[in-house]
Structure 1
């Protein structure tokens, strides 16, 4: 069916509308894919195998490419597709997005209840909804006639940042409200909820950042906040944010829907509209039930796949909520019943130092074991030398420890009044604890590094990174085996892997013939991995998997990248001067040049396959364009494609960073903005001339 539809579409004359059969098929595909996505991401009950979903997705994508008029804003193909934003704009909330008053125990909760009851003395105890308080970032989503048109951060509660492009990447946020039986959607619906990072996703992100030599996120909440403010939606999509909806507002009527009258029915409606709603909610008749719910989840929350730092309690009746209204800061009808931050004191016995793949020196506190957030903690990160200076640690100090994001134990502060007499201040070693070579602290960086590429610790990290799934994917080459091979001098370089034979491996401890053959086969298969994977596997500092792909696309061979001028690399969109400097420095080291030569001799893929190589000149490299109006001969998509093929990038709106605005008929506000900013304006003919320059 996919091939048949594509052939039929290809045979159409450009610009003609699709026939009814193709329109119907596109609508069917959108509906099926939306249903499958809801089942997978929200219900956690997949209905389609991945291969079937991918096939249907490609069919829809083919139809939309052939007939742009078929493309709708709620199409699954449109979750990620916009150009990176230049900046975020401030948007005033339709209804203020208030934060909640906090209570830190059930006694303070009862005080809050007494306060609102004084305003409504005839109500007494009433039904309330208890929900887990997700430790994330509040969002306000606006739907017009059922379609998502805007996603805004909380900001100061009065206005937030318009991050619609990023919100569209979150799979648990529907692009279109699910309203059954052809009913009319409300003119305007505002849904509010919390965007967050699941703990396993957060852990994966930090592992990758550590492998890339970049700073780790302190906790999932900060990581989610940083993700939401990324200007490139593709990066947001990669980080797999999730979303729980917790309220719905209909300021301009309800269409054919019945408006909820309580918080409980609002949550039910959100589920009907195909939002993800936290399942661990409870309808409580009395304060004692709220207290029981709060106590129950104080321990159980540690088993959840996301962070929660308390319980939100809302009076169930919307009518009562309206009567109670707001203070100048908070709603009177809701409160956040927070769990106390879990921090415990313990004794600092010693400080050890770990050396990572990039040579980063990380001090680690060795502590007297304590119970923290349900686990026994005896070690905690101290991050870097700057943090050591800030803490002013002395051996024997009493330190306060907490779990950063309830995951990574860290030392928060020192109780210096309890410091033993004669305690010695700790100094980070000036030599690497593994290879004993001098360490360095580059200017402007917080991280101290070992720069000896022969250091066993760096070699161990490099080998594990090379074998990782996102790099060369050498199955079976795990941490223990790598360390064993290093200890026995079986390998002293990544390239040594490709010289190993069965005779080399069989004498090793716990190495049978079957395991040895499997490892050799996995190593041999890694030679088929594409150039971008090899580049990522080299472990160049700051070059993650995405940057490696960008560089491999621009420089389709290792020779081209090694010879590239730093300024040329820095101009590539998404790279910049810091990564360019790191790449250039890496290729200048003789040891790395020898490594490349050995990998090439071993048969690794150090250039892209011929069909992927694009050697056309790129006269527009680093230039930014905006297209506006109707061009005489080129369609907007064609002009955009030609600009991008020549190395330029196309943005949605003019800014001070825009180099050229290409102007056609009926240009409108973008041309006016270009005039205001004094930007260079081009006709289509001038654009074509620019494209043809070399």
Structure 2
């Protein structure tokens, strides 16, 4: 009788090889019946002895028990987005910038790689000793959501790399997507079940990857193309083309429609071909990615703040469609800003049906010379946001009337106001239902009071029924009343009351941010709360000594004026009293005050009042860890270098920030010098 461990290893090898041939090479090497028999044998072996289970076993693709949620993880190598080119002039300008950065003559021919830009969702895959260890979404480029269980269900992603003696670690980047035929089949199944249809393959893919149940992900048959490889320095290929070949050899599906081009002229021919050829592909693409082939030159070119200099995405022209303007409505935001919205006959754009688009403000309406009944041209900006591009005045009906922004609030009827040179027109009635709804959504949001269970639909019910007329009224709700509302059971109501009660303990800076005062974001709220330990002390300064606020580092007169206006309004003064009456402190706790005072005392003359910028990769600190250390020491972290920057903390691949800091003669610190500076503040 064969050894179970040896037999399980043999079965894993046979099944993984067969899956690679079927899903990646499209060249089956094993009949389905044989595959199924071997798969059952492996499943039975693993069930009889859990010690036989391995992460690279094909049985791990079916998905385990549903997850309770996703956790954020830090990428070993950042997953940056690309700068976009929207026409050939943009592409030419990028190439010229690249030559200047590399200090090459204008007539230098740089080998480039052209790859199709797949319209899906970026993934970061981490392999340890050749076995898939972790998969994550792009997130903010530095951190993403860990979705390993879901990614294991994608058959074109190898669970074990097909290379001998794999490096200790391998990082792979690529695009998950849903092929057109698969998408059509999914929607057909949903239609039969009476479920809402997915708008397009990209949205369906994004929603699928965030499913808590991996079995749902497996059923939707996602696919994957790999396009970027990161290895330890001693194993890294010398070119992007070689990296793609390595990925192909290792068992990944690499898009075959790629080309190594001798120069920009060849890239232009590649782009010309696929602008038309993309319509024949079995999956959606929205452009071409152009990369410098030589990886050493890539390192030399470096990065900007958000993207590599050595690559760019040439986006296909946005699809445009003519349609007829039916009416112009208006939406009121939480700050009272009134946004006009065009409503038109529905048109299909980028895979979705579109019938509404924002017009931004009165100036945009005037610029378009918009009339009711006009034939307008609509497109999706960046393939996502619908916008009105232009009007076709030659098709205008003779009786068409000009569109004007309303003079009165569509929600409460109050007169609208446009102050000074502001683009926005506003409702200034603090009792306006729209402002109230927006204020409530902001108050309970993650960055503010973080109240779970109070979504937009429930907020609409509470406001429309007159049950909540201010932020304070939220804390007067009881479980019995909430349970009587639509889609609210007794348990949900009890949980919401508990969540509201718990939110009273949120720190003072979150309460300040939650008030929704114009220009007071999370960072500014923290800075103000560290100096003024209560709403009373903040109001005294704003109304009697605004210079105390405007002179704070990073605040300034605009924020000071906004605070003075808000805190000086009688209705807002009453709101603060009401919030205190229902149990909100609107002040820093003793521990918060001590921490703020200690931070100030510890950093006098070192980081207090200093602005630092982070760039590149530090040897032992992540970007978030370095930022936390700076803020804990009283400093402020900025995203860009300017004359107001005090220090630049630079790691590997520092890019343009380093050059700019050098030109401005700003003090540059490596991690060692940065740590020494922090030690001086202790």
If the length of structure 1 is used for normalisation, what is the TM-score? 0.51
1:403 and 2:380 aligned:
yes
In the alignment, the residues of structure 2 paired with residue 284 and residue 128 of structure 1 have an alpha-carbon distance, to the nearest angstrom, of: 6
Cα drift, residue 267 of structure 1:
2.9
Q: State the partner residue of 1:351.
A: 328
Match in the other structure for 1:368: 345
- Structure 1 residues 557-613: Cα deviation after superposition (integer angstroms, max 9, x where no partner): 222222224333233333333223222221111111111111122222422222221
**2:117–2:313 CA contact under 8 A, matched in 1:** no
Pairing partner for 2:546 from 566, 579, 594: 566
Q: Partners of 1:381 and 1:568 in 2: how far apart?
A: 39
SS for the counterpart of 1:475 is coil
Q: Secondary structure at the match of 1:468?
A: coil
The equivalent position to 2:117 in structure 1, one of 126, 129, 132, is 132
Displacement after TM superposition at 1:129 (Å):
6.0
Match of 2:390 among 413, 420, 423: 413
Distance change (3 Å), C-alpha of 1:516 and 1:314:
closer
Whether 1:428 aligns to 2:379 is: no
* Corresponding residue for residue 584 of structure 2: 604
Does the C-alpha gap of structure 1 residues 317 and 515 become closer, same or farther in structure 2, counting only changes over 3 Å? closer
Aligned partner (choices 458, 464, 473) of residue 481 of structure 1: 458
- Is this contact kept in 2: 1:385–1:428, CA < 8 A? yes
Q: Any unmatched runs of 5+ in structure 1? A: 1-44, 58-73, 80-89, 102-115, 117-126, 137-166, 173-179, 184-192, 196-243, 302-307, 319-333, 627-640, 661-672, 678-690
Match of 1:584 among 549, 560, 564: 564
- Deviation digits for residues 467-499 of structure 1, max 9, x if unmatched? 222222222222222112212111110101112
Instruction: Find the counterpart in structure 2 of residue 93 from structure 1.
Output: 101
Task: Please list, as runs of the form range in 1=range in 2, the aligned pairs for 1:442-591 lying within 5 A after superposition.
Answer: 442-502=419-479, 504-505=481-482, 508=485, 511-564=488-541, 565-591=545-571
Paired residue for 1:17?
none
**Cα distance in 1 for residues equivalent to 2:610 and 2:290:** 49
1:427 counterpart SS class: coil
Question: SS state of the match for residue 441, structure 2?
Answer: helix
**Residue 96 of structure 1: how far off its partner (Å):** 5.4
Q: Deviations over 1:261-287 (max 9, x none)?
A: x82x233569999xxx99555457999
* Cα distance, 1:92–1:574 mapped onto 2, change above 3 Å: farther
CA distance in 1, matches of 2:71, 2:482: 43
Q: Could you say if the C-alpha distance between residues 507 and 133 of structure 1 is closer, same or farther in structure 2, counting changes exceeding 3 Å?
A: closer
Q: CA deviation at 1:505?
A: 4.0
Secondary structure of 1:528's counterpart equals coil
User: Within 2, Cα distance between the matches of 1:53 and 1:486?
Assistant: 34
- Aligned pair in 2 of structure 1 residues 551, 350: CA closer, same or farther (>3 Å)? same
Q: Which runs of 5+ in 2 are unaligned?
A: 1-62, 81-97, 122-139, 146-163, 168-172, 176-224, 261-268, 296-310, 613-627, 648-661, 667-680
Q: Which residue of 1 aligns with 2:362?
A: 385
Q: Deviation at 1:456?
A: 0.7
CA distance in 2, matches of 1:258, 1:383: 48
How far apart are the structure 1 equivalents of 2:293 and 2:609? Answer: 55
Aligned match of 2:39:
none
TM-superposed CA distance for 1:649, in Å, is 7.0
User: Partner of 2:504: helix, strand, or coil?
Assistant: helix
The alpha carbon displacement at 1:546 in A equals 2.8
Map Cα deviations across residues 500-530 of structure 1 (whole Å, 9 max, x no partner).
2345445555554334323222221211222
Q: Does the C-alpha gap of structure 1 residues 95 and 131 become closer, same or farther in structure 2, counting only changes over 3 Å?
A: farther
- Tell me how far 1:94 sits from its aligned partner: 2.4
Q: Distance in 2 between matches of 1:548 and 1:581?
A: 15
Spell out the pairing of 1:44-443 with structure 2 (5 A cutoff).
92-94=100-102, 130-132=115-117, 259-260=238-239, 263=241, 265-268=242-245, 280=255, 282=257, 294-296=278-280, 300-301=283-284, 309-312=286-289, 339-443=316-420
- Whether the 8 Å CA contact 2:329–2:342 is kept in 1: the answer is yes
Q: Secondary structure at the residue paired with 2:347? A: strand
- In the aligned structure 1, how far is the partner of 2:578 from the partner of 2:257? 63
* Cα-to-partner distance string for 1:647-679 (whole Å, 9 max, x where unaligned): 77799999965899xxxxxxxxxxxx99999xx
Contact kept? 2:508, 2:586, Cα under 8 Å: yes
Displacement of 1:409 after TM fit? 0.9
Distance 2:638 2:368 in 1: 45
2-structure distance, mates of 1:658, 1:259: 37
**Other-structure match for 2:675:** none
Question: TM-score w.r.t. structure 2 length?
Answer: 0.52
Query: In structure 1, what is the Cα distance between the partners aligned to 2:108 and 2:350?
Result: 25
Distance 1:292 1:91 in 2: 29
Residue deviations 1:418-458 (CA, integer Å, cap 9, x gap): 11002110111111111111111122321111111000110
RMSD: 6.1
Check conservation: 1:294, 1:311, Cα contact below 8 A. no
Change (3 A) 1:131 1:646: closer
